Amino acid sequence: MKRFGVRILTVSYMVFSGVPLSAAANILENTAVKKHQIPNVPSFDLSHKGEALRCYPSSLVETNSKKKLVEFVCVQRNLAEKLVSDADDISSEEDRGRQETKRFQQLLKDKKEIGAIYHVKIPAGDARYPGIAAHEAKQMLQNNHYFGKYIRWLLPAKFYISLRPQYAEMAGSKEGKHFHNAGSRAGFFYAYKFNSGINITMQYEGNINKENKGNFINLSEQSDSNRRLSYLAAEYKGITLLGGKYWSAYYDIAGITDYFMAYGAQASGVYNNSGDGSVSGTGRADKVLQVHFAIDDFESTLQYQYGHASPEGIDGEFGYRMGASLVYKGWKKDGWKAGAAFAYGKYDEITAMMRQMGITGNDQAYIAGLSFKKNCFLVNGNLSYTRNHMNDDQGVYFDGVGVEIYARYDVSSQIRTVAGINWLKPTGGYRGQYEIKKGILSFQYTFGKRTFDDVVYLEIALPHGSFASGVRGNTSVAIGLRYLIDI
C-alpha cells in the first residue's frame, strides 16, 4: 500500500568541497558504519537516470509538525566500499608548480566520478519499508532533474585558501624576530573535460597580503604583484596549450628543490631580482604562451613571453623572452628522473646604466636536475649557471654557478625531517664578496588530511657565505604554520 507524507530532497556534489574521495568516505562512515547514531531502518536501492544508487539511513529529523523524518544518503551502488578503502590512501606530497596543477586536476576528476550525493528525507513510517522508500526517493529525484543538469556543467571547481603565518627574522631585516605573512594565498581552480576529449583548466591565485610590504624570508614566496597565477589551458592527448601567468619551463627543473618552508630556493636562479621570476621567465612567468608535451616517459615545455618588459630597477627592456625544458621519467621503477631547462631574455640594448649594474649581455639561465625517491627517502638536486640574471644585496649583477640539494626522510606519515644546501658562487669579473652558502635543517609535522598542506614546522638556516661587503650572515630560525582551507 502506498503511503504519503512529508518528503524532502537536497542534492550535494562533492565537487563543492575541496576534498578528495576520502571525504565522501567519511560521510558514509558517519551514516552506514556508526549505526548507534542513526535510525534502525534498512537501506534500499534505486535507479536514477541510468545510475544505480544505494541509499543509507543517516539521521532522524524532527519537523515543526512533530512528524519524524529519516534522512538517507544516496550514492552510487557499492561506492561505499570503494571510498572507505581509498580513505587511507592519501598523498603525502605538497606538490609545487606543474605537479600541483596535476594534483588539482586529479582531485576534481575523482569528485566528478563520484557524481552527486543525494540527501533524501522520508517519513519515518515509510522508511521502514524499502520498496515504499525507494519509490518516494525516486519521485523526488525525478522532480529535481534540472538542478543536477546545470550543476554538472558548471562544476567541478575548487576554492582554496592557504594561511601561512611565520615567526622569524626576515633576511636583512633589523627588526628582529616577529610574526609576519610568509606567502599566504587564495585561489580558484576549475577543470572540465568535453566529450571530444579536450580538457580545459583555468586558475587564479592571489597573494592575500594586500600591502605586500617587506621581503619574505623565503624568496620562493616573493611576488612582483598580488597576482601569483592567472591562466587558461587546454589539453588534448598529452599536448597542452597555455596562456597567462604560470610556472615556467625553467621551474620544471628548479622546482624539485623548492620545498623548504622558509630559507630555500636562493641559488637555482628561479627567483631573481628580489621577485618571483615573472619578467625573466624563470619562476612564475608572466604574459607567457606555453606548449607542454607529455609523451611516454618524456615531458617537455616550450615557452615564449610576448610583449616588452623591463626588470625592476633597469632602464632596458626585453625584446623577447623564451625558454624550454625536457624531463625524462623512464627510470620510475628505480626511483630516478632527470631533466634540464633554460631561459633566455634578449635585451633591445645594453644601456650605460645596465653596464654600471654589471649587466654586460642578455639574460641567460641554464639548469639541470636529478631526483631520486625510494620508500621514505627523497633526494633532489640541481646545478645551474646564470649570466646577467642574479644580483647581490647591493643590486650588482654577476654570472654565477649554483647548487641546491633537498633531502628528506619521512619518519612516519605525519613527521618528516629535511636537510639541504643552497650554494651560489659568482664567477667572472665580479669584484664583491657576495656568496650564498648555507645549510638548512627542517622538522615538519602534518595534521588534518596529512598531505603536508597542513603543517607546523621548525626550520634552521646555517649560513657560511657573506654579503657583498664581506659581512657574514647569522644563523636564522623560523617557526611557522601552513593551513589549507578548501571550500
Residues 411-440 have pLDDT tens digits of 998 999 999 999 999 998 898 999 999 999
Cβ atoms of 440 and 462 closer than 8 Å: yes
Q: How confident is the model at residue 168 (pLDDT cuts 50, 70, 90)?
A: confident
Distances (CA, A) of 340 to 243, 269, 345, 371, 378: 22, 13, 18, 12, 19
In a shared domain, residues 215 and 292: yes
- Grouping H, G, I as helix, E, B as strand and the rest as coil, residue 84 is helix
Q: What is the mean pLDDT of residues 357-386?
A: 96
Q: How confident is the model at residue 445 (pLDDT cuts 50, 70, 90)?
A: very high
Q: What is the mean pLDDT of the chain?
A: 83
- In the predicted model, is pLDDT for residue 477 greater than 80? yes
CATH number reported for the structural domain that contains residue 474 in this entry: 2.40.160.10
In a shared domain, residues 149 and 251: no
Distances (CA, A) of 116 to 55, 56, 151: 12, 14, 10
pLDDT value of residue 363: 97
Residue 225 falls within a domain, yes or no?
Answer: yes
- In the predicted model, is pLDDT for residue 151 greater than 60? no
Task: Return the bridge partners of 122, or none.
Answer: 70
Q: How confident is the model at residue 189 (pLDDT cuts 50, 70, 90)?
A: very high
Number of H helices, E strands in the chain: 8, 23
Give, for 303, the enclosing helix (H) or strand (E): strand 298-305
Residue 435 falls within a domain, yes or no?
Answer: yes
In a shared domain, residues 142 and 183: no
Residue 137 falls within a domain, yes or no?
Answer: yes
pLDDT value of residue 332: 77
What is the residue whose three cell numbers read 609576519? 180
Q: How confident is the model at residue 53 (pLDDT cuts 50, 70, 90)?
A: confident
Residue 101 falls within a domain, yes or no?
Answer: no
Among 115, 133, 154, give the residue marking a domain's end. Answer: 154
Q: How confident is the model at residue 103 (pLDDT cuts 50, 70, 90)?
A: confident
pLDDT value of residue 59: 84
Q: How confident is the model at residue 149 (pLDDT cuts 50, 70, 90)?
A: very low
> ∠ CA(481), CA(483), CA(487), 5° rounding?
165
Beta strands 363-374 and 336-347, pairing class: antiparallel
Q: What is the mean pLDDT of residues 400-405?
A: 97
The three grid cell numbers given for residue 381, joined into one nine-digit string: 638536486
- What letter would DSSP give residue 254? H
In a shared domain, residues 195 and 122: no
In a shared domain, residues 165 and 21: no
Q: How confident is the model at residue 109 (pLDDT cuts 50, 70, 90)?
A: confident
Q: What is the mean pLDDT of residues 179-204?
A: 90
As a whole number of angstroms, the distance between CA 439 and CA 464 comes to 8
Cβ atoms of 260 and 218 closer than 8 Å: yes
- In the predicted model, is pLDDT for residue 165 greater than 70? yes
What is the model's pTM? 0.77
Q: Could you read off the pLDDT of 454-476 as tens digits, one per residue?
A: 999 999 999 999 999 989 988 99
Residue 1 falls within a domain, yes or no?
Answer: no
Residue 29 falls within a domain, yes or no?
Answer: yes
- In the predicted model, is pLDDT for residue 16 greater than 50? no
In a shared domain, residues 289 and 420: yes
The total number of structural domains that make up the chain: 2
The residue ranking higher by pLDDT, 20 or 121, is: 121
Residue 169: partners with Cβ closer than 8 Å, 6 or more residues away: 175, 176, 177, 178, 217, 476, 477
In a shared domain, residues 182 and 143: no
The residue ranking higher by pLDDT, 248 or 24, is: 248
Cβ atoms of 86 and 21 closer than 8 Å: yes
The residue ranking higher by pLDDT, 312 or 284, is: 284
pLDDT value of residue 175: 63
Tell me which residue of 198, 201, 163 sits closest to 182, measured CA to CA: 163
What is the residue whose three cell numbers read 575541496? 18
Enumerate the H helices of 73-167 as residue ranges: 79-86, 97-114, 124-127, 130-142, 145-154
Q: Could you read off the pLDDT of 123-146 as tens digits, one per residue?
A: 988 999 999 999 998 888 877 655
- In the predicted model, is pLDDT for residue 85 greater than 60? no
In a shared domain, residues 123 and 179: no
- What letter would DSSP give residue 309? B
Count the Cβ atoms, other than its own, within 10 Å of residue 296: 9
As a whole number of angstroms, the distance between CA 241 and CA 234 comes to 5
Cα atoms in the Cβ-side hemisphere of radius 13 Å centred on 473: 26
As a whole number of angstroms, the distance between CA 440 and CA 165 comes to 20
What are the DSSP E strand ranges found in 134-238? 157-163, 165-168, 178-181, 185-193, 199-207, 227-236
Which residue segment(s) compose the domain that 30 sits in?
8-94+107-154
Cβ atoms of 452 and 446 closer than 8 Å: yes
- In the predicted model, is pLDDT for residue 14 greater than 50? no
The residue ranking higher by pLDDT, 84 or 397, is: 397
In a shared domain, residues 264 and 356: yes
Among 154, 173, 192, give the residue marking a domain's end. Answer: 154
Tell me which residue of 436, 434, 375, 440 sits closest to 405, measured CA to CA: 440
Residue 409 falls within a domain, yes or no?
Answer: yes
Q: How confident is the model at residue 312 (pLDDT cuts 50, 70, 90)?
A: confident
- In the predicted model, is pLDDT for residue 107 greater than 90? no
pLDDT value of residue 210: 54
As a whole number of angstroms, the distance between CA 127 and CA 130 comes to 7
Count the Cβ atoms, other than its own, within 10 Å of residue 335: 14
As a whole number of angstroms, the distance between CA 28 and CA 78 comes to 11
Task: Return the bridge partners of 276, or none.
Answer: none
In a shared domain, residues 181 and 204: yes
In a shared domain, residues 143 and 166: no
Cβ atoms of 198 and 192 closer than 8 Å: no
The three grid cell numbers given for residue 386, joined into one nine-digit string: 646564470
Q: Could you read off the pLDDT of 208-251 as tens digits, one per residue?
A: 865 544 433 333 344 444 579 999 999 999 999 999 999 999 99
Spatial strand order of the sheet with 51-62 comes to 8-13, 116-123, 68-76, 51-62, 44-48
Query: Any idea which of 52-61, 84-93, 332-341, 419-428 has the lowest mean pLDDT?
Result: 84-93
Of the chain, the percentage scoring pLDDT greater than 90 comes to: 52
Count the Cβ atoms, other than its own, within 10 Å of residue 154: 11
Residue 35 falls within a domain, yes or no?
Answer: yes
Tell me which residue of 107, 214, 95 sits closest to 162, measured CA to CA: 95
In a shared domain, residues 162 and 140: no
Buried b (16+ CB within 10 A) or exposed e, 233-266: bebeeeebebebbbbbbbbbbbbbbbbbbbbbbb
Enumerate the H helices of 301-358 as residue ranges: 352-356
